[in-house]
Every structure is written in structure tokens, then in C-alpha cells.
Amino acid sequence: MANPFISLNEEQREQFRTEGYLIVKGLFTEEDVRTIEDRFEAISHQTIPGLFEPDLSENADDPLKRYPRVMHPHRFDEVAKQFMLHQPVMNVLGELYGEEALAAQSMFYYKPPGSRGQALHQDNFYLQVEPGNCIAAWTAIDAATEENGGLLVVPKTSEHEISCPELADSSESFTTHYVKPPKEHKAMPVIMDKGDVLFFNGNLIHGSYRNKTKDQFRRAFICHYANASATHISNHYRPLLRQDGTPVDLEINPNGGPCGAEFDMAYPH
């Protein structure tokens, strides 16, 4: 069945402006979700050098070694590319930006039982979209809860500048960067059903819980976008794509950004 999404209402647009994030319920149909599930189940048994390198032995001591995230699947898989450029998602992004969106990155997270979460961070620290900002579209392929490693967001931090990260707790986070929220702000859980999409601003501080379940994956298809009027982006995300698949090359932002070249700027987490 075709997705019924037409346009955002004023309340939704205002929430994104003031809070820095917005959930659009059921933006992906059940059929969409099944297609993505099936494709990434097949990918999970492969090795894609540099983009997906699982430990396919039975001896992996960390669930994320067997199921690491898939980086840039749109670069080698047509299904991933199709859903990165999904019309309903691009429609929402066009309304949030007030202009055309350009697709910069795709990722797939399996988040198996027992796996660590991701320390709080800001996406535009990595993408370095200028002028303007990146926006993430985080699609729940499984329901996301506090128990299985759902997302945390820190509302209203989208207006804060990019912060230089501290070192994360490696026992709880598989990434190394941690951005401490301002004193007056607290992280809150985002509960999502299959097919829901969370859109959030590139400065919004966010992360995720550890998956505390013994039998639930928390799969997610995540893409990042830039506004068409942007002129610069980190080199790792080039070329970008218009909705029709036409490549667009923005200028390269020099490594290091506001925090210096010693930071690994490769990918948002």
C-alpha cells in the first residue's frame, strides 16, 4: 500500500524547530520494513571490505563483532539506495529544510542482544555540513525501547554549538566520543514502533542505551542528509545524491573542524 504521508502540520514543524527532533509515525509501510529486513538479513552473512566486516566465526566475544554496523550500504546495494531516497522521507526533509535535501550517508545497525550503546554525540561534528546543517532520518526496523537499546535525545540542544567531545566509557559505548549535555538539559528516551522515522537536527545531542535483552535485536536504517544550499561537507560523504540518484559534489570541509585534526572525523554514530 502506498504511504499516505502528504505534509507536516504546523505543530510538527514547530516541534522540530524548538525541540530539534520529530517522530513521523509509520512513514515506512509494513512492506517497506519487510523488504529492508530481508535485504539486510542477506547482507549480514556477507563481507563487504571497508563497509561491513563481520566476524562470521562462532567465536566472536562481542555481539557487535558478529553484527557491526553496515556503512554506506547505498554504495553497493540498490535496496539501500532506494530507501535512502524514499519519497516520503525526502518529502519530510524538504519541508524541514525548506528546500531540496541531498542524501549523504546510509547506515544499518543490527544492535544485537547484549550489545553496547552509543555515547551522546552530535552528528554535524562528523558531517561538517556548511552552511546549514545535516538532518538524520532514523528508521525503526524493530520497535525501539529502553530495554533493547533505543535512542536517547537531549531536547532543545539543536541550538547549541558543536561541542568538542570527551572520552566515552568503553564498557557502555562502542564509540569513543562523548558530548556532555548542558546542565539544564537531560537525555530522554525515544520509544518507536516499526516503520516510525525520527528526524533530528545535526547539532542535537543524542545517543543510545545498551541492548539489555537476551533475545531482541534493535535494527535501524539510518540516513543523513544535507540542505541543497550547503557548499561544504566532510570528504567521507561525497558524492551526495539528489532524489533521482544524480550525484552532487560539495566542496570538502578540511579535517578537524572546530576541534582540531586529532579527532577522527570519519562517521557519525
Domain contains 2: no
What pLDDT, in 10s, does the model give residues 244-259? 999 999 999 975 566 7
Angstrom distances, CA of residue 184 to CA of 91, 188, 189: 34, 13, 17
Domain contains 106: yes
Domain contains 7: no
Residue 190: how many CB atoms within 10 A of its CB?
21
Percent of the chain exceeding pLDDT 90 equals: 87
- Asked if 25 and 193 touch (Cβ cutoff 8 Å), the reply is yes
Q: Is 78 helix (H, G, I), strand (E, B) or coil?
A: helix
Question: 235 is written with which cell numbers?
Answer: 570528504
Residue 106 forms beta bridges with which residues?
223
Domain contains 232: yes
Domain contains 58: yes
Domain contains 220: yes
* CATH number of the structural domain spanning residue 177: 2.60.120.620
Q: C-alpha dihedral over 212, 194, 56, 121, to 10 degrees?
A: -60
Examine the pLDDT at 2 and tell me if it is beyond 90. no
pLDDT at 60: 75
Domain containing 167 equals 23-259
- Asked if 166 and 246 touch (Cβ cutoff 8 Å), the reply is no
Domain contains 204: yes
Question: 173 is written with which cell numbers?
Answer: 559505548
Domain contains 9: no
d(CA 222, CA 220): 6
pLDDT at 171: 87
d(CA 118, CA 111): 11
pLDDT confidence tier of residue 18, bands split at 50, 70 and 90: very high
What pLDDT, in 10s, does the model give residues 206-226? 999 999 999 999 999 999 999
- Asked if 28 and 139 touch (Cβ cutoff 8 Å), the reply is yes
pLDDT at 6: 66
d(CA 26, CA 72): 24
Question: Looking at residues 37-61, what average pLDDT do you find?
Answer: 94
Number of structural domains found in the chain: 1
Question: 201 is written with which cell numbers?
Answer: 537536527
